[in-house]
Structure 1
Amino acid sequence: MLAEPAGAPQNVPPEGFTALFNGQDLSGWFGLDGRFNGQGLITLGKEAREKLQREGLASVTQHWKVEQGELVNDGAGLYLTTDQDYGDIELWIDCKIQPKGDSGIYLRGTPQVQIWDTTEAGGQWQHGADKGSGCLWNNKQAGNRALVLADRPPGEWNRFHIRMIGPRTTVHLNDQLVVDDIPLENYWDRTVPLPARGPIQLQTHGGETRFRNIFVREIPAEEANAHLQAVAADGFEPVFNGRDFDGWIGATDSYEIQDGILRCKSGTGGVLLTGKTYGDFAVRFEFRLPPGGNNGLAIRAPLEGNPAYEGLEIQILEDSAEKYADLKDWQVHGSVYGLAPARRGFLRPVGQWNVEEVVVQGSRVTVCVNGTTINDVDLQELPARDGQEHPGRTRPEGHLGFLGHGDPVEFRNIRVKLL
């Protein structure tokens, strides 16, 4: 948590944070119509986005102003939107509403961390205002009610401290936990994951709202991965000791171990498998891709035949590389090779570690990378997209491992949980 010493100057970020509001003007922000899907900014070309930002900045001052180091909105008009997109972040915002006020904080262009008058006089109890601000109000599954009522009365400042890793969102309001690591759902299209990046937006929804001390820290991959590895970690046991190939069989000559990292040797390949077999299980691991890197996760693989067909292969691939411009959808990262395509756009930049979890139960396979579920499919009667036979889809048990393709893809912290 961020502590502010008594008498500390406003709008001055603590160490490691950047101020999104400079206390003087709207630099770094523009106005966006609340009916516009903020996620759509990601798909705009550079010129189109800059044009939208110029137009939005020109009109946003109708309802937004800076007054005595505070951002002030009169309750109407465009949503104040950051010029920059953000992914995994820690965010600090002070907010003050008036009686019957209603606002919110959009993350990655998506509603919202709720801000409202929580008193009965505010007139929103039928919508859950009596439970408090800070909740992910538009969620359908979980998190749409605050864990505790932590609001100060209208007319007083409230402090929001938000951490977001993948879609997983934690909110503290006035130093009290109100949302505990709940995925923010994609309000704009609940059939697809929340995007990996997007703008921060301040909602206008009735009544004067004031903001100050808006600070952001982009969370580095190592910190994000440590958090994701710790989520519901009970029952996971290491299958790689970080020192040698104890417990592994197959192409051990094609891999090397250094500093706790398992690396496929450049120019080699082959199938490296666990000596044990697994039926229903979850596996968590970290991987790091070189440019254009290609490998695969073998699931329920036999010792004979092609494990991508006689078992299952989950693609591990730097699928944004130019040489993969013509990939089929069932070849991208996280796909069940030949069978089930995954959602793209959730890998970290080349050279950074990613964390992945694959859950296999019966004929169902779920793939989650960097906190986002990119594949969730029942393979039982799914037509093969590559036109090939895939007897491995019904194999109840087999070996776990890696399918090298000549690239120095690296792995570490490989753990398995039996289900």
Structure 2
Amino acid sequence: MKRYILSILAGAALTACFSFNEPETVKNEPGTEIKQGWKSLFDGKTTAGWHIYGKGAISSAWKAEGGAIHLDPAARKQGVAGGDLITDQEYDNFHLKLEWKIAKNGNSGVIFYVHEDPEKYHATYNTGPEMQVLDNEGHVDAKIHKHRAGDLYDLIPCSKETVKPAGQWNKAEIVANQGKLEMFLNGTKVVSTTMWGEDWRKLVAGSKFASMPGFGTFKSGKIAFQDHGDEVWYRNIMIKKL
């Protein structure tokens, strides 16, 4: 019996050692350290830590409500200026986790390695690659190869489509470490590539970004949520520096 109990205890210890549960939040505030080195980029209540690209302020078209950051296109129709929402801080090697939900026929994107210099680069996509956020069933962009949800926009298509329909939450991850780029959608790795080498430059040269000399060249930058004029939500936004 003693040997049996020791065996059970040893098994429990191994299970604890190799548990890969989601990081547990200590405090839900921007920049707060959470377990396993993660930080929250959204406190669930405000847009603190974010601003509009090229501007020091936030746009009221982007709202913190219902535990999510929400782009309200109705506000834009009422004359409120929009723009891409961007982090105050820059990141080089990182693991980003978030959830997104798109409205029917909607389009948005998660753009990273954004170099914020609006006098030289008028938009976030002039420098930052994008993980596409899209209603594949309703938006015309879905008819274009490499423009579907989860694609590395206009560069690499998903290896497998795992996106959920409009109105449902999707879990996305972007891991960028020393040039190695991996993207996950709903638990499945959908894109894997290496940035900044000769193969990357050829990839960019064959895309719509070929005429943008700064695109995909920066090794540190900000993270942006694209304002494409459609309703979109982002929540549970966490990042870990690698």
Pick the aligned partner of 1:266 from 73, 97, 120.
73
Pick the aligned partner of 2:126 from 291, 309, 318.
309
Distance 1:265 1:229 in 2: 30
User: Residues 387, 355 of structure 1: CA spacing in aligned structure 2 closer, same or farther, 3 A cutoff?
Assistant: closer
Q: Is the 8 A contact 1:332 1:344 kept in 2?
A: no
2:62 alignment counterpart = 255
2:184 alignment counterpart = 368
Distance 2:51 2:207 in 1: 29
User: Residues 330, 270 of structure 1: CA spacing in aligned structure 2 closer, same or farther, 3 A cutoff?
Assistant: same
Question: 1:340-382: per-residue Cα shift (whole Å, max 9, x none)?
Answer: 2223520122222111111111322211111001111113323
Offset at 1:320? 2.8
User: Residues 313, 392 of structure 1: CA spacing in aligned structure 2 closer, same or farther, 3 A cutoff?
Assistant: same
Question: 1:359-413: per-residue Cα shift (whole Å, max 9, x none)?
Answer: 1113222111110011111133232242532533220111112111011110111
Structure 1 SS opposite 2:182? strand
1:242 alignment counterpart = 44
Distance 1:415 1:397 in 2: 17
Offset at 1:240? 0.9
Pick the aligned partner of 1:321 from 125, 138, 143.
138
Aligned CA RMSD, in angstroms, stands at 2.5
User: Residues 271, 387 of structure 1: CA spacing in aligned structure 2 closer, same or farther, 3 A cutoff?
Assistant: closer
> Does 2:226 match 1:403?
yes
Q: Is the 8 A contact 1:228 1:371 kept in 2?
A: no
Q: Is the 8 A contact 2:107 2:139 kept in 1?
A: no
Offset at 1:324? 3.6
Distance 1:308 1:299 in 2: 9
Distance 1:247 1:403 in 2: 16
2:30 alignment counterpart = none
> Does 2:89 match 1:276?
yes
Q: Is the 8 A contact 1:335 1:342 kept in 2?
A: yes
Opposite residue 299 of structure 1, the aligned amino acid is F
Q: Is the 8 A contact 2:150 2:161 kept in 1?
A: no
Aligned residues with identical type, % of pairs:
24
Q: Is the 8 A contact 1:295 1:409 kept in 2?
A: yes
Distance 1:414 1:392 in 2: 24
1:386 alignment counterpart = 207
Q: Is the 8 A contact 1:228 1:370 kept in 2?
A: no
Q: Is the 8 A contact 1:307 1:313 kept in 2?
A: no
Q: Is the 8 A contact 1:315 1:332 kept in 2?
A: yes
2:108 alignment counterpart = 295
Structure 2 SS opposite 1:331? coil
User: Residues 249, 368 of structure 1: CA spacing in aligned structure 2 closer, same or farther, 3 A cutoff?
Assistant: same
2:156 alignment counterpart = 340
TM-score by length of 2: 0.72
Opposite residue 262 of structure 1, the aligned amino acid is I
- Larger-gyration structure (1/2): 1
Offset at 1:270? 1.5
Question: 1:268-316: per-residue Cα shift (whole Å, max 9, x none)?
Answer: 4411111010011011001111112211112011222232231222211
User: Residues 358, 229 of structure 1: CA spacing in aligned structure 2 closer, same or farther, 3 A cutoff?
Assistant: farther
Distance 1:332 1:248 in 2: 26
Distance 2:134 2:174 in 1: 15
User: Residues 387, 274 of structure 1: CA spacing in aligned structure 2 closer, same or farther, 3 A cutoff?
Assistant: closer
User: Residues 322, 243 of structure 1: CA spacing in aligned structure 2 closer, same or farther, 3 A cutoff?
Assistant: closer
Structure 1 SS opposite 2:125? helix
User: Residues 341, 276 of structure 1: CA spacing in aligned structure 2 closer, same or farther, 3 A cutoff?
Assistant: same
Question: 1:174-225: per-residue Cα shift (whole Å, max 9, x none)?
Answer: xxx8xx889xxxxxxxxxxxxxxxxxxxxxxxxxxxxxxxxxxxxxxxxxxx
Q: Is the 8 A contact 2:161 2:190 kept in 1?
A: no
Opposite residue 326 of structure 1, the aligned amino acid is K
Structure 1 SS opposite 2:215? helix
2:3 alignment counterpart = none
Offset at 1:228? 6.3
Offset at 1:244? 1.3
User: Residues 324, 393 of structure 1: CA spacing in aligned structure 2 closer, same or farther, 3 A cutoff?
Assistant: closer
